[in-house]
Amino acid sequence: MCYGVMKKFHLSEEEMNQLAERYETPFLVASAAQVEDNYRFLRQHMPHVGIYYAMKANPTPQLLERVAGLGSCFDVASAGEMVQLQALGVAGSRMIYANPVKDRRGLRTAAELGVRRMTFDDASEIAKMAQYVPGADVLVRIAVRNNKALVDLNTKFGAPVEQAIPLLQQAKAAGLNPIGICFHVGSQSLSTAAYEEALLLSHGLFQQAAEAGMHLTDLDIGGGFPVPSREGLDVDVAGMLHTIDRAVARLFPDTAVWCEPGRFMCGNAMNLVTTVIGTKERQGKPWYILDEGVYGALSGIIFDHWSYPLHCFGHGARQQATFAGPSCDGIDVLYRDVTVPRQHIGDHVLITEIGSYSTVSATRFNGFGLAPVLIWEEQPEAAKRQEQESQPVAQEEVV
Ligand SMILES: *Cc1c(COP(=O)(O)O)cnc(C)c1O
Q: What is the pLDDT of residues 157-175, one digit of tens each?
A: 999 999 999 999 999 999 9
Q: What is the pLDDT of residues 106-120, one digit of tens each?
A: 999 999 999 999 999
Q: What is the pLDDT of residues 300-312, one digit of tens each?
A: 999 988 889 999 9
- What lies within 8 Å, CB to CB, of 24 at 6+ separation is none
Structure confidence at residue 126 as a pLDDT band (50, 70, 90): very high
Q: What is the pLDDT of residues 197-255, one digit of tens each?
A: 999 999 999 999 999 999 999 999 999 999 866 455 667 899 999 999 999 999 999 99
Structure confidence at residue 149 as a pLDDT band (50, 70, 90): confident
Which of 35, 56, 190 for a ligand 1 pocket mutation test, highest count of atoms within 8 Å of Cβ?
56
- The pLDDT of residue 399: 47
- Say how far apart CA 380 and CA 258 lie, in whole Å: 37
Closest ligand 1 atom to residue 57 Cα is 8
Question: Positive or negative CA dihedral for 30, 32, 34, 36?
Answer: positive
292, 254 contact by CB (below 8 A) = no
Q: What percent of the chain has pLDDT over 90?
A: 86
pLDDT (average), residues 369-382: 97
Catalytically annotated residue among 182, 266, 312, 328 = 328
User: Pocket residues for ligand 1 (CB within 6 Å)?
Assistant: 54, 56-57, 75, 98, 184, 187, 222-225, 260-264
Determine whether 328 is an active site residue: yes
Dist. CA 292 → ligand 1 center (Å): 26
What three-state secondary structure class fits 6? coil
pLDDT surpassing 90 at residue 263: yes
Which of 58, 72, 74, 75 for a ligand 1 pocket mutation test, highest count of atoms within 8 Å of Cβ?
75
pLDDT (average), residues 8-16: 96
Q: Nearest CA to 118 among 143, 132, 137?
A: 137
Say what the pTM is: 0.94
Closest ligand 1 atom to residue 119 Cα is 13
Full DSSP string of 24-91: PSSEEEE-HHHHHHHHHHHHHH-TTSEEEEEGGG---HHHHHHHHHTT-EEEE-SHHHHHHHHHTT--
Structure confidence at residue 147 as a pLDDT band (50, 70, 90): confident
Structure confidence at residue 391 as a pLDDT band (50, 70, 90): confident
Structure confidence at residue 137 as a pLDDT band (50, 70, 90): very high
